[in-house]
Amino acid sequence: MLPFDILEYQNRLRETKERMEEKGIEVLLVTDPANMNYLSGYDAWSFYVHQMLVIIIDESQPIWIGRYQDANGAKATTWLYEENIIPYPDYYVQSSKYHPMDFIADILNEIGHGNRHIGVEMDNYYFSAKAYERLKQKLPNATFKDGDLVVNYVRLIKSDQEIEYMKRAAKIAEKAMKKGTESIRTGVRESDTAARIYYEIISGTEGYGGDYPAIVPLLPAGERTSIPHVTWTDRTFQEGDAVIVELAGCYKRYHVPLARTVTVGNPSKELQKITPIVVEGLNEVLDSVKPGMTCGEMEEVWRKSLQKHGIQKEARLGYSIGLNYPPDWGEHTASIRKGDTTILKPNMTFHLIPALWFDNYGIEISESFRVTENGCETFTNYPRELIIQSPYRIDKQDGKIS
Amino acid sequence: MLPFDILEYQNRLRETKERMEEKGIEVLLVTDPANMNYLSGYDAWSFYVHQMLVIIIDESQPIWIGRYQDANGAKATTWLYEENIIPYPDYYVQSSKYHPMDFIADILNEIGHGNRHIGVEMDNYYFSAKAYERLKQKLPNATFKDGDLVVNYVRLIKSDQEIEYMKRAAKIAEKAMKKGTESIRTGVRESDTAARIYYEIISGTEGYGGDYPAIVPLLPAGERTSIPHVTWTDRTFQEGDAVIVELAGCYKRYHVPLARTVTVGNPSKELQKITPIVVEGLNEVLDSVKPGMTCGEMEEVWRKSLQKHGIQKEARLGYSIGLNYPPDWGEHTASIRKGDTTILKPNMTFHLIPALWFDNYGIEISESFRVTENGCETFTNYPRELIIQSPYRIDKQDGKIS
């Protein structure tokens, strides 16, 4: 049932403990669902309630603590002994009176770890301000430490098995991009294209299905291409529209994102002018990647490439990717941007998305890649260009399904 | 462009300020994306970075503060004046050095509100422990108050326009349930059924498309029906399988969830026995609903109905629903459970999901409903029974799309 060999989980745990030791953390409370999965295998849409994995530096197994009805899921999806799965009663869920962290603090006290150096994931979505306040109140003898990103940094370099899963995600991303962009024609609703993309992402390939990505397909069209992060509407595509498609294939929670810009009919003069500049910059960055380089140096290659054409835009060009859950497929560790000193190593994996947004249009052409021994290789093999669609609907190409 | 009349947003704001006043909050920092949308219209998948709406009790308009590249989205989707949209530079994003809350605290100081009684959404996914720590550090003269759920409680009673959107979501839920369950046949992969459901949810109806639900379709099958919250796998359905399908239609971010249990071929003896008990209990609860009753009293009706059959299970039966974003479509206010003193009023809306999970099977048959002047009405019209599918694949019924 487990997607990785037990030894791989134990290696991850060992590396996590090494980092805990460096930071003086004896007990790490892991609340990020991706980190929980990474260390234990736990996989369920239960992260909307408080739950965690407790990593104790001198104990061989993590402890899962979560909602009563999710304990069966922990038994089914993790390598933990059943006695290390501790459920809290349902009356703790979203209550004004009871808080799951009170229960968890009691457990930590009971098992003798309430007075130790406890690391918490300070800036994670799933560790709220109140969670922290309740823990501090109930564990007055603990010393709290910032344990944010401790596990995320272990995730930075992928194993061969993780790369294999990302390659599968890449196949799904290619298929979804192909079928999705084919459906972008005059008169087709944005929502129908989004539906088509979602269908392809989840149905995957003949050999394997896909998993839900941590971000929905993004599909700004027309003037909204100047607005990243808006989702689809019921507007129909018009001749002359540009459409940005940003999606990810996902397999066993491993993501490979891919973005392309599409036009319905002939592209605008602006897009015709900017596209070769973006592709050239993207190629130059990919050509430059090699172990030993820093993420900041990658940004410099891009910046200089743009400067040749008189363009100055400062933004993050990309980020580390892999295992994740909503709301973000980025790992929150290495960023491809000015000043990032992360040194590239083989099997680090990134989404390179040097998007440009202007006042009334934008362009995204991206690649996800893995650092190799001598350079890099992209996960997907998809034409690195503006996709120009004939505006007219051709039978069976409107994305609709009977 | 706005999904509601400007007057409706202003009413919501006025009610929020009344609640702020009751709690002694002068400035409310709204970080829940559903609350941000509810008050301003803001709608984008940008909640994976820190952002907020600042509600100042003596100012007529909220202030949106978010990432630079998302400011265009705030201009396009809200009713706010452009001068009330304040972007922070990209180097604040997921950085170990800079934190968006430092920027936000500076703004609050500059505009003269840094020393007031500031409410923060203490237990929200999008207000992390670190966000709170940074604010406290940078605003030493502020008095912080727990502003959790202040806006959520305003959301509890829906307007007629909100109900209208939920009725549209209901039509989508019915269609997705029909097409999804039709595809559950021997030999079909769970992932293909999930893909089909997603397709229907997003493509919606002829008249309007759907929005992404805050939770993915849940699809535990076989023994995994004893495990709520697990998602699909590549396993193929087998004759004799039970499958729980829990999904929501979503329109303009308003959700109507619906759950049914399906069997491939003849149902097990356990399911045959438990189904009429669940349906009877569900009917008795729905028949009892009327304004003036409490949520706790609803749970009592269910508990007594089960007791007639010698079953005792204590859990939350349901929760308030409406506008939402991942990771939860519940509103975190009223819960249908023992001791909840929320008094039902017309246009409150709930998902009533009296699920039962046993050691190796489970059952879910749910209804979403609105409280009316005299009783309640369900949003969806879907047979309230176990769905028994012929195990054999019939042409075009395997959910696959060419």
Task: Name which of A73, A99, A315 is nearest B90 (Cβ-Cβ).
Answer: A315
Are the CB atoms for A376 and A370 separated by under 8 Å? yes
Q: At what angle do helices A100-110 and A129-138 cross, to 10 degrees?
A: 40
* Nearest-angstrom CA–CA distance, B93 and A340: 12
- Residue A396: count of CB within 10 angstroms of its CB: 11
Amino acid, single-letter form, for residue B111? I
Q: Is residue A398 assigned to a domain?
A: no
Q: Give me the pLDDT at residue A1, please.
A: 79
Smallest CA-to-CA distance from A254 within A366, A175, A163, A152 is with A163
| Chain B nearest CA to A286, separation (Å) | 23
Cβ-based contacts of B337 with chain A (< 8 Å): 90-91
Determine the 3-state secondary structure of A365 from DSSP.
coil
Task: Name which of B44, B190, B400 is nearest A229 (Cβ-Cβ).
Answer: B44
Contact A216 B215 (CB under 8 A): no
Residue B195's H or E segment, with its range, is: helix B190-203
Q: Is residue A397 assigned to a domain?
A: no
Q: Give me the pLDDT at residue B396, please.
A: 54
Are the CB atoms for B327 and B125 separated by under 8 Å? yes
Task: Name which of A192, A208, A327 is nearest B326 (Cβ-Cβ).
Answer: A327
Pull the structure tokens for residue A88.
């809290």
* Nearest-angstrom CA–CA distance, A145 and A136: 11
Contact B45 A315 (CB under 8 A): no
Are both A310 and A352 inside the same structural domain? yes
Amino acid, single-letter form, for residue A313? K
Are the CB atoms for B320 and B349 separated by under 8 Å? yes
Last residue of a domain, one of B131, B154, B177: B154
Contact B191 A212 (CB under 8 A): no
Residues forming beta bridges with residue A299, ordered by sequence position: none
Pull the structure tokens for residue B303.
């508990």
* Nearest-angstrom CA–CA distance, B39 and B3: 12
Contact B202 A203 (CB under 8 A): no
| Chain A nearest CA to B44, separation (Å) | 5
Last residue of a domain, one of A105, A123, A155: A155
Reported as a pLDDT band with limits 50, 70 and 90, residue A395 is: low
Query: For tokens 């969830």, what's the residue?
Result: B257
Contact B230 A128 (CB under 8 A): no
Are the CB atoms for A215 and B45 separated by under 8 Å? yes
Residues forming beta bridges with residue B358, ordered by sequence position: none
Chain B contact for A187, CB < 8 A?
A: no
- Cis before A327? omega within 30: yes
Contact A209 B218 (CB under 8 A): no
- In total, the C-beta contacts within 8 angstroms joining chain A to chain B are 229
Lowest-confidence range among A97-101, A274-278, A359-363, B303-307?
A359-363
Are the CB atoms for B302 and B281 separated by under 8 Å? yes
Contact A45 B218 (CB under 8 A): yes
Are the CB atoms for A255 and A324 separated by under 8 Å? yes
Are both B206 and B57 inside the same structural domain? no
Chain A contact for B228, CB < 8 A?
A: yes
* Nearest-angstrom CA–CA distance, B105 and A351: 31
- Tens of pLDDT, residues A351-386: 999 999 888 889 999 999 999 999 999 999 999 999
Q: What is the CA radius of gyration of chain A?
A: 23
Contact A94 B332 (CB under 8 A): yes
* Nearest-angstrom CA–CA distance, B57 and A144: 35
Task: Name which of B43, B73, B128 is nearest A128 (Cβ-Cβ).
Answer: B128
CATH number of the domain bearing residue B234? 3.90.230.10
Amino acid, single-letter form, for residue B166? M
Cβ-based contacts of B218 with chain A (< 8 Å): 45
Contact A190 B209 (CB under 8 A): yes
* Mean predicted confidence (pLDDT) in A292-318: 94
DSSP 8-state assignment for residue A350 = E
Look at strands A376-378 and A242-251 and give their pairing. unpaired
Pull the structure tokens for residue A109.
């006290």
Per-residue burial over B298-316, b if 16 or more Cβ lie within 10 Å, else e, is bbebbbebbeeeeeeeebb
Pull the structure tokens for residue A134.
């309740």
Are both B273 and B367 inside the same structural domain? yes
Pull the structure tokens for residue B95.
């950085």
Chain A contact for B137, CB < 8 A?
A: no
Q: Is residue A377 assigned to a domain?
A: yes
Q: What is the largest CA-CA distance in chain B?
A: 70
Pull the structure tokens for residue A253.
């929670």
Smallest CA-to-CA distance from A243 within A282, A279, A271 is with A271
Chain A contact for B314, CB < 8 A?
A: yes
Q: Is residue A401 assigned to a domain?
A: no
- Tens of pLDDT, residues A198-238: 999 999 999 999 999 999 999 999 989 988 899 999 999 99
Nearest-Cα residue of chain B relative to residue A120: B129
The angle at the Cα of A50, spanning B252 to B340, to the nearest 5 degrees, equals: 75
Are both A147 and A185 inside the same structural domain? no
Nearest-Cα residue of chain B relative to residue A90: B315
Residue A157 clears pLDDT 60, i.e. is over it = yes
Chain B contact for A307, CB < 8 A?
A: no
Contact A326 B330 (CB under 8 A): no
Contact B190 A203 (CB under 8 A): no
Contact B123 A131 (CB under 8 A): yes
Q: What is the CA radius of gyration of chain B?
A: 23
Reported as a pLDDT band with limits 50, 70 and 90, residue A313 is: confident
Interface of A with B in 97-136 (CB under 8 A): 99, 120, 122-133
Residues forming beta bridges with residue A294, ordered by sequence position: A343
Are both B209 and B353 inside the same structural domain? yes
Task: Name which of A46, A129, A212 is nearest B128 (Cβ-Cβ).
Answer: A129
Interface of B with A in 146-175 (CB under 8 A): 146, 148-149
Are the CB atoms for B30 and B47 separated by under 8 Å? no
- Tens of pLDDT, residues B49-100: 999 999 999 999 999 999 999 999 999 999 999 999 999 999 999 999 999 9
Q: Give me the pLDDT at residue B185, please.
A: 94
Determine the 3-state secondary structure of B38 from DSSP.
helix
Last residue of a domain, one of B87, B121, B154: B154
Interface of A with B in 23-82 (CB under 8 A): 43-48, 68-70, 72-73, 76-77
Residue A270 clears pLDDT 70, i.e. is over it = yes
Are the CB atoms for A350 and A333 separated by under 8 Å? no
Are both B269 and B367 inside the same structural domain? yes
* Nearest-angstrom CA–CA distance, A61 and B390: 45
Q: Give me the pLDDT at residue B313, please.
A: 82
Q: Is residue B98 assigned to a domain?
A: yes
Contact B229 A46 (CB under 8 A): yes
Task: Name which of B146, B198, B316 is nearest A198 (Cβ-Cβ).
Answer: B198
Distance of alpha carbon A252 from the chain centroid: 12
Pull the structure tokens for residue B314.
């204590």
Nearest-Cα residue of chain A relative to residue B397: A402
DSSP 8-state assignment for residue A272 = H
| Chain A nearest CA to B153, separation (Å) | 13
Pull the structure tokens for residue A255.
């993501």
CA distances from A2 to A8, A78, A253, B221, B245 (A): 11, 7, 13, 18, 24
- Cis before B276? omega within 30: no
* Mean predicted confidence (pLDDT) in B312-333: 94
* Nearest-angstrom CA–CA distance, A109 and A305: 57
Contact B69 A229 (CB under 8 A): yes
Are both A229 and A375 inside the same structural domain? yes
- Tens of pLDDT, residues A320-339: 999 999 999 999 999 999 99
Chain B contact for A221, CB < 8 A?
A: no
- Tens of pLDDT, residues B177-214: 999 999 999 999 999 999 999 999 999 999 999 999 99
CATH number of the domain bearing residue A97? 3.40.350.10
| Chain B nearest CA to A75, separation (Å) | 10
For every residue of B65-77, DSSP letters joined together read EEEGGGHHHHHHH
* Nearest-angstrom CA–CA distance, A26 and B50: 29
* Nearest-angstrom CA–CA distance, B242 and B266: 9
Cβ-based contacts of A213 with chain B (< 8 Å): none
Residue A306's H or E segment, with its range, is: helix A295-307
Q: Is residue A402 assigned to a domain?
A: no
- Residue B133's domain comprises 6-154
Chain B contact for A137, CB < 8 A?
A: no
Pull the structure tokens for residue B51.
């952002």
Are both A179 and A142 inside the same structural domain? no
Q: What is the mean pLDDT of chain A?
A: 95
- Tens of pLDDT, residues A334-360: 999 999 999 999 999 999 999 998 888
Number of domains in chain A: 2
Residues forming beta bridges with residue A60, ordered by sequence position: none
* Nearest-angstrom CA–CA distance, A238 and A253: 35
Chain B contact for A360, CB < 8 A?
A: no
* Nearest-angstrom CA–CA distance, A13 and B199: 38
- Tens of pLDDT, residues B242-285: 999 999 999 999 999 999 999 999 999 999 999 999 999 999 99
Contact B230 A314 (CB under 8 A): no
Are both A124 and A192 inside the same structural domain? no
CA distances from A143 to A57, A137, A140, A297, B393 (A): 15, 12, 8, 38, 60
To test the contact with chain A by mutation, choose from B196, B227, B247 the residue with the greatest count of A C-beta atoms within 10 A, namely B227
Are both B131 and B169 inside the same structural domain? no
Contact A227 B76 (CB under 8 A): yes
Are both B186 and B279 inside the same structural domain? yes
Residue A402 clears pLDDT 60, i.e. is over it = no
Smallest CA-to-CA distance from A195 within B177, B202, B250 is with B202
| Chain A nearest CA to B219, separation (Å) | 11
Are both B224 and B82 inside the same structural domain? no
To test the contact with chain B by mutation, choose from A64, A121, A125, A398 the residue with the greatest count of B C-beta atoms within 10 A, namely A125
Are the CB atoms for A356 and B110 separated by under 8 Å? no
Contact A231 B45 (CB under 8 A): yes
Determine the 3-state secondary structure of B333 from DSSP.
strand
Q: At what angle do helices B33-40 and B6-22 cross, to 10 degrees?
A: 120
Cβ-based contacts of B332 with chain A (< 8 Å): 94
Chain A contact for B335, CB < 8 A?
A: yes
Chain A contact for B232, CB < 8 A?
A: yes
Q: Is residue A232 assigned to a domain?
A: yes
pLDDT above 70 as % of chain B:
98
Determine the 3-state secondary structure of B332 from DSSP.
strand
Q: Is residue A1 assigned to a domain?
A: no
